[in-house]
């Protein structure tokens, strides 16, 4: 006996519902997989990688930018072997780690090599990179537009207009350790683009042949910009240390500032370059005394 | 006749095109901004990451001006004459050797243009012996150049470890000069700073001398050292002629004479906050001066 039309309709509905459920499940699985991928806390890059890979240890990506886009906020990009990994625009909390034994290059011919426009609460760290530019008046090696905390360790930056350049719109804490900046117009340059404070420290750094200034603080009219420079060498540039603007302070301790063609230490427009009176400031064309001092605590 | 001329032209065109095709790859190779070298490389390779070269000199000749020679693994890479802007980069964890055997052979020689920038990083440079210091062999010989940066290197067994005799500006960081007759030697007006360096077992640790052509009105040759260690040298510092050595936060231990300041004009040594122990003679001055300078 044939089924009644009502029963047939019910069966059809049941089949359709089952199908919809299956589709929903498939979509959820797919979404989950995609999310899980985007949320990987470590993305690996290698000379033999491919940007279409998932960035796992066994299937690394090739370039920094796709790795950045794939890694979870607060995650890490890990370099596996020596190669160039391309320019990088950082927009979230992130660590880029090149281990000793590997050369991780970022080489550009124009523009900024590494640009950081992250959130005011974001933390970024860069370790072990060799950042190379297209000429000593072009772009920045590491540009900071906005960030919460930034640490730069064991890096070499060369051949840019600005080696490490902060023009921050967010209150930023910047620490630079054991890093070499050379053959740029400006070595370390800290400024603010809004009424916020930028506090920086640089320890064990080498600033060679920075033809305009080795290290400079240049605050806008509102907000303070300061740099504490410790155990660093500023050699063979234009002005060694410069503070420009009433709320700019540059503190130097245990530093050697020598062979600069214009000034060793200089302040303009109310800025302060102050010394802990333990620096070697010799053989600069001028500015062989600090404009001010501060005491060890 | 016309046909003959035409075929000649076609032949010439084909020959020119063939020559261009032959030259083009060579030019492209020469323009590469990074040339890699490895123990498993070959100098006839193109120097790319996957096909590295074997020796520094071949890599230098192939790399673009201002480019990098990148060492991929531990090996000896041969002596190197540098004639342009270039960076030689050995990462930590890899030993990049330059070993030469002859007593008068030098490891790396810089003879470049007056604006060229040269970086040497992470190298171990070994010579055939210090001898009596007259052989002229140098671990790193810096001649004409714009700026030379030497970082994280070890130089041993040469007449002169690092010899600066021409150029505009030199910085030496975290580098050891060991068992050389002269550890760090400078003989010309070159802006020079050395930081975190070690001069060990050298008859002369640091030498700063003019070449006797200097006049009283000429600027002094000033050499600045910070946080350097001089250990077990015969003479720690030698300044001669119109030359001065500034040292800050240095450690000077086990030296026969901490200072020799010889000859004419105003040769001098100016120290600051040095640690000095177990040195035989202390400071000796022969027609020069020793002084302290104030920190700033």
pLDDT tens by residue, A62-98: 999 999 999 999 999 999 999 999 999 999 999 999 9
Q: How far is B22 from chain A (nearest CA, A)?
A: 28
- The C-alpha angle B278, B279, B283, rounded to 5 degrees, equals 140
- Kind of pairing, strands A280-282 and B34-37? unpaired
What tokens appear for A198 in the block?
């930028």
CA–CA dist B45, B59 (Å, integer): 10
Burial of B132 (0-12, 13-18, 19+ CB in 10 A): exposed
pLDDT of residue B23: 44
A99 touches A124 (CB < 8 A): no
CA–CA dist A245, A134 (Å, integer): 30
Q: What are phi and psi of A70, to 5 degrees?
A: -90, -25
Supply the mean pLDDT for chain A.
91
pLDDT tens by residue, A185-214: 999 999 999 999 999 999 999 999 999 999
Q: Which one, of A220, A103, A229, lies nearest residue A167 by Cα?
A: A220
CA–CA dist A136, A140 (Å, integer): 9
Burial of A269 (0-12, 13-18, 19+ CB in 10 A): exposed
Is B193 near chain A, with CB under 8 Å?
yes
Show the low-confidence residues of chain B (pLDDT under 50): 1-3, 5-6, 13-14, 17-29, 263-264
Q: Specify the fold of B2-292.
A: Pectate Lyase C-like (2.160.20)
Q: How far is A139 from chain B (nearest CA, A)?
A: 17
CA–CA dist B243, B295 (Å, integer): 20
Closest to A103 (Cβ–Cβ): which among B89, B117, B249?
Answer: B89
In chain A, which residue's Cα lies nearest the Cα of B70?
A103
pLDDT tens by residue, A270-295: 999 999 999 999 999 999 999 999 99
pLDDT exceeds 70 at position A15: no
HSE-CB of A214 using CA atoms within 13 angstroms: 34
CA–CA dist B90, A101 (Å, integer): 8
- Kind of pairing, strands A75-79 and A94-97? parallel
DSSP state, A184? S
Closest to A275 (Cβ–Cβ): which among B68, B248, B296?
Answer: B296
Residues of A in contact with B191 (CB under 8 A): 235-236, 258-259, 283
CATH superfamily for domain A43-293:
Single-stranded right-handed beta-helix, Pectin lyase-like (2.160.20.10)
CA–CA dist B296, B294 (Å, integer): 6
pLDDT confidence bin for A102, thresholds 50/70/90: very high
pLDDT of residue B3: 46
CA–CA dist B117, B295 (Å, integer): 31
Closest to A289 (Cβ–Cβ): which among B66, B119, B296?
Answer: B296
Residues of A in contact with B193 (CB under 8 A): 233, 235-236, 256, 258-259
Residues of B in contact with A275 (CB under 8 A): 296
Q: Do B192 and A259 touch (CB under 8 A)?
A: yes
For tokens 């992250």, the residue is A118
SS3 A24: helix
B258 touches B281 (CB < 8 A): yes
pLDDT of residue B126: 97
Closest to A101 (Cβ–Cβ): which among B66, B92, B171?
Answer: B92
Q: Which residues of A touch B (CB under 8 A)?
A: 47, 82-84, 99-103, 105, 107, 130, 132, 158-159, 180, 182-183, 206, 208-209, 231, 233, 235-236, 254, 256, 258-259, 265, 275, 277-283, 288-290
In chain B, which residue's Cα lies nearest the Cα of A209?
B147
Q: What is the DSSP string of A245-284?
A: STTEEEEEES-EEE--SSEEEEEETT-EEEE-S--EEES-
């Amino acid at each position: 006996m044939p089924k009644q039309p009502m029963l047939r309709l019910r069966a059809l509905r049941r089949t359709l519902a089952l199908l919809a459920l299956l589709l929903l499940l498939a979509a959820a699985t797919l979404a989950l997989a995609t999310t899980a991928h985007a949320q990987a806390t470590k993305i690996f890059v290698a000379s033999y990688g491919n940007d279409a890979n998932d960035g796992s240890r066994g299937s690394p990506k090739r370039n920094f930018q796709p790795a950045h886009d794939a890694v979870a906020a607060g995650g890490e990009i890990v370099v596996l072997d020596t190669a160039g990994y391309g320019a990088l625009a950082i927009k979230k909390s992130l660590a880029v780690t090149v281990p000793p034994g590997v050369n991780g290059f970022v080489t550009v011919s124009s523009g900024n090599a590494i640009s950081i426009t992250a959130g005011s609460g974001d933390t970024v760290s860069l370790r072990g990179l060799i950042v190379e530019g297209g000429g000593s008046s072009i772009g920045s090696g590491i540009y900071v537009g906005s960030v919460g905390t930034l640490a730069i360790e064991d890096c070499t930056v060369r051949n840019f207009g600005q080696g490490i350049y902060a023009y921050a719109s967010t209150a930023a804490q910047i620490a630079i350790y054991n890093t070499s900046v050379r053959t740029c117009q400006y070595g370390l340059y800290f400024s603010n683009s809004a009424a916020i404070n930028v506090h920086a420290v640089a320890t064990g750094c080498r600033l060679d042949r920075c033809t305009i200034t080795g290290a400079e603080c240049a605050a806008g009219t509102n907000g303070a910009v300061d740099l504490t420079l410790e155990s660093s060498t500023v050699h063979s540039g234009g002005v060694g240390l410069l503070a420009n603007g009433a709320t700019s302070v540059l503190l130097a301790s245990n530093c050697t500032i020598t062979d600069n063609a214009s000034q060793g230490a200089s302040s303009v427009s109310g800025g302060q370059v102050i010394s802990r009176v333990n620096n070697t400031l010799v053989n600069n064309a001028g500015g062989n005394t600090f404009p001010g001092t501060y005491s060890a605590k | 006749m016309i046909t003959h001329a035409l075929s000649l032209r076609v032949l010439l065109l084909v020959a020119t095109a063939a020559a261009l095709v032959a030259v083009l790859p060579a030019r492209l190779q020469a323009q590469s901004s990074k040339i890699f070298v490895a123990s498993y490389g070959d100098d006839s390779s193109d120097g790319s990451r996957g096909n590295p070269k074997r020796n520094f000199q071949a890599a230098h000749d192939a790399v673009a001006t201002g480019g990098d020679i990148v060492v991929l693994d531990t090996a000896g890479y041969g002596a190197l004459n540098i004639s342009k802007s270039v960076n030689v980069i050995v990462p930590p964890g890899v030993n990049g050797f330059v070993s030469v055997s002859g007593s008068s052979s030098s490891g790396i020689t810089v003879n470049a243009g007056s604006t060229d920038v040269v970086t040497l990083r992470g190298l171990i440079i070994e010579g055939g012996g210090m001898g009596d210091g007259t052989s002229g062999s140098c671990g790193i010989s810096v001649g004409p150049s714009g700026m030379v940066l030497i970082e994280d290197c070890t130089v041993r067994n040469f007449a002169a470890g690092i010899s600066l005799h021409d150029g505009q500006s030199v910085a030496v960081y975290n580098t050891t000069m060991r068992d050389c007759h002269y550890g760090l030697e400078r003989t010309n007006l070159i802006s020079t700073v050395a930081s975190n360096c070690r001069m060990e077992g050298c008859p002369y640790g640091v030498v700063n001398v003019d070449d006797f052509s200097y006049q009283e009105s000429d600027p002094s040759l000033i050499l600045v050292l910070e946080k350097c260690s001089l250990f077990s040298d015969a003479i720690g510092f030698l300044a001669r002629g119109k030359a001065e050595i500034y040292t800050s936060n240095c450690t000077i231990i086990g030296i026969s004479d901490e200072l020799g300041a010889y000859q004419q004009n105003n040769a001098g040594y100016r120290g600051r906050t040095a640690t000095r122990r177990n040195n035989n003679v202390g400071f000796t001055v022969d027609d020069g001066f020793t002084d302290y300078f104030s920190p700033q």
